[in-house]
């Protein structure tokens, strides 16, 4: 999606050379869109290591405390079934 926005900006810049300031508003909009996409991707990169860390912690917990993990899972399932 970022590449698509970059292509749109390049096209608008090309037109701006011929049309003058008429495309400025479009360029501002496209740049805002690009910044939002980049921010979204950056936040995604931050969350991925956290997700991996949580997954690894859960696997380790299951391995080191198997009976407790089963009990916690049963309680979680019961709570979910009653809407909590």
The answer to whether the pTM exceeds 0.75 is no
CB 41 within 8 A of CB 2: yes
pLDDT for 1: 61
Q: Which two tokens stand for residue 40?
A: 């979204």
Number of domains present in the structure of the chain: 1
Question: At a CB cut-off of 8 Å and minimum separation 6, what does 15 contact?
Answer: 23
CB 57 within 8 A of CB 50: no
* Per-chain mean pLDDT for the chain: 76
Domain that holds residue 37: 2-81
pLDDT confidence tier of residue 20, bands split at 50, 70 and 90? low
More confident residue, 63 or 27: 63
What is the rounded average pLDDT of the residues 53-64? 84
Cα(17)–Cα(73) distance, integer angstroms: 63
């Amino acid at each position: 999606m970022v590449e698509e926005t970059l292509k749109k900006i390049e096209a608008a810049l090309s037109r701006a050379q011929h049309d003058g300031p008429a495309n400025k508003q479009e360029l501002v909009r496209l740049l805002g869109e690009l910044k939002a996409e980049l921010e979204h991707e950056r936040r995604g990169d931050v969350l991925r290591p956290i997700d991996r860390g949580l997954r690894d912690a859960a696997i380790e917990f299951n391995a080191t405390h198997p009976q407790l993990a089963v009990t916690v899972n049963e309680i979680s399932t019961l709570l979910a079934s009653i809407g909590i």
